């Protein structure tokens, strides 16, 4: 793997950094305080292609690699973690439609999703099926030319403010093989939305429970054959884990840059904090952890782009490592700022709050360890095959 970015990728990074500096960073604190979902800015992001990053060009997207998409998400997250995290979810949901939906369904919905006229939510988690998603209970019953959905989804990002729901529902037997995937209009009759959850972080995007009671949708809104929904969900989550890890990289990069400015300006005992060796060591460790996390994410993206047989393993390892280490980096940056880091006047406490949930969603980091350990034990003495 070549660790140097191409000229095209450097231009993508520069463009995303400029967008984040102009459209996201100046407003992120206010969006957080006001619990404001910046739909108007997300639609301006669509003008840059950021809502269809890795959807194929023939379907209207930019057709970028997962590595290039990761680079963009990292830069955007340095401006606003919560808003960028929503955009990663929208990209994942739209990609699932583009990858597995039929031509008619894509023609009807994809242009609006890529162009930002429509926003999407991804609906997998349920009140009793979080980490154990294969045993979800939401059902889709075939009734002539329609399906009828009943059940509930929880912790759904964007819910109540989006237009399209990509829903995993049971159409067959218990377990993963009985799950199918559907596109459900968010305003369909029989859908009810719960309250906007009062979260620790990610306050710039709504999170609600969705209840489906006799919701009827055309049979043509099924994405792919019956029984393939769990397969699609897991394929989506490989990329989703890279996306959310990339958001952690952006938060950590911003926290490190803020820390460098602070230690160079702040004086104690007659000299700048940057002159204290203990703080120099802390900064060195922070940079090392950020670099290691970034390289793990880029390696996993490379594996996914090249359809490597171990891509799922690498995505799990990268998600676990990067979200753990980058959260710790943000927390260390807050500690380095002392009491100032705990104030809303500085962005440190927001970066800590916003990055903490990355260790939970897209599969908890404990589940990431399960994925890695199972694959490792399957290989046994043939460990070199994983490298």
- For the annotated catalytic residues, the residue numbers are 362
Residue 23 DSSP class: I
Rounded Cα distance, 123 and 93, in Å = 9
Tell me, letter by letter, the H, E, C secondary structure of 53-79: CCCCHHHCCCCCCHHHHHHHHHHHHHH
State how far Cα 235 lies from the chain centre: 14
Q: Which residue has the tokens 């070549």?
A: 2
Encoding tokens for residue 216?
A: 């009827």
Q: Are 189 and 215 in contact (CB under 8 A)?
A: yes
Q: Which residues does 88 contact at the CB level (< 8 Å), separation at least 6?
A: 73, 240, 243, 244, 246, 247
Sign of the alpha-carbon torsion through 132, 133, 139, 141: negative
Encoding tokens for residue 105?
A: 């369904």
Encoding tokens for residue 149?
A: 């959905």
Encoding tokens for residue 338?
A: 């002392």
């Amino acid at each position: 793997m070549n660790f140097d970015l191409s000229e095209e990728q450097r231009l993508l990074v520069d463009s995303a950094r400029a967008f984040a500096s102009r459209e996201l960073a100046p407003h992120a604190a206010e969006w957080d305080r006001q619990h404001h979902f910046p739909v108007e800015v997300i639609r301006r992001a669509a003008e840059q292609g950021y809502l269809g990053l890795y959807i194929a060009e023939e379907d209207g997207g930019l057709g970028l690699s997962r590595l290039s998409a990761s680079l963009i998400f990292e830069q955007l997250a340095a401006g606003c973690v919560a808003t960028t995290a929503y955009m990663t979810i929208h990209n994942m949901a739209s990609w699932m439609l583009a990858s597995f939906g039929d031509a008619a369904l894509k023609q009807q919905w994809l242009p609006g999703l890529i162009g930002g006229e429509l926003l999407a939510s991804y609906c997998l988690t349920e009140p009793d099926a979080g980490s154990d998603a294969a045993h979800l209970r939401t059902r889709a019953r075939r009734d002539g030319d329609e399906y009828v959905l009943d059940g509930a989804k929880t912790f759904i990002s964007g819910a109540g403010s989006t237009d399209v729901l990509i829903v995993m529902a049971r159409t067959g037997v218990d377990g993963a093989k009985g799950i199918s995937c559907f596109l459900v209009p968010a305003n369909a009759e029989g859908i009810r939305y719960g309250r906007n959850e009062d979260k620790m972080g990610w306050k710039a995007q709504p999170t609600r429970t969705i209840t489906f009671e006799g919701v009827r949708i055309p049979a043509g809104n099924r994405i792919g054959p019956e029984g393939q929904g769990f397969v699609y969900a897991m394929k989506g989550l490989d990329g989703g884990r890279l996306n959310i890890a990339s958001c952690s990289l952006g938060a950590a990069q911003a926290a490190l840059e803020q820390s460098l400015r602070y230690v160079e300006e702040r004086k104690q005992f007659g000299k700048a904090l940057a002159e204290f060796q203990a703080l120099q060591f802390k900064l060195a460790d922070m940079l090392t952890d950020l670099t290691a996390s970034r390289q793990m994410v880029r390696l996993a993206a490379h594996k996914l782009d090249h359809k490597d047989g171990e891509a799922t393993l690498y995505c799990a390892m990268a998600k676990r490592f990067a979200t753990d280490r980058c959260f710790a980096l943000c927390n260390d940056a807050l500690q380095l700022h002392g009491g100032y880091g705990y104030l809303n006047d500085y962005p440190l406490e927001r970066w800590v709050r916003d990055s903490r949930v990355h260790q939970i969603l897209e599969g908890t980091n404990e589940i990431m360890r399960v994925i890695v350990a199972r694959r490792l034990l399957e290989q046994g003495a043939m460990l070199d095959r994983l490298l």
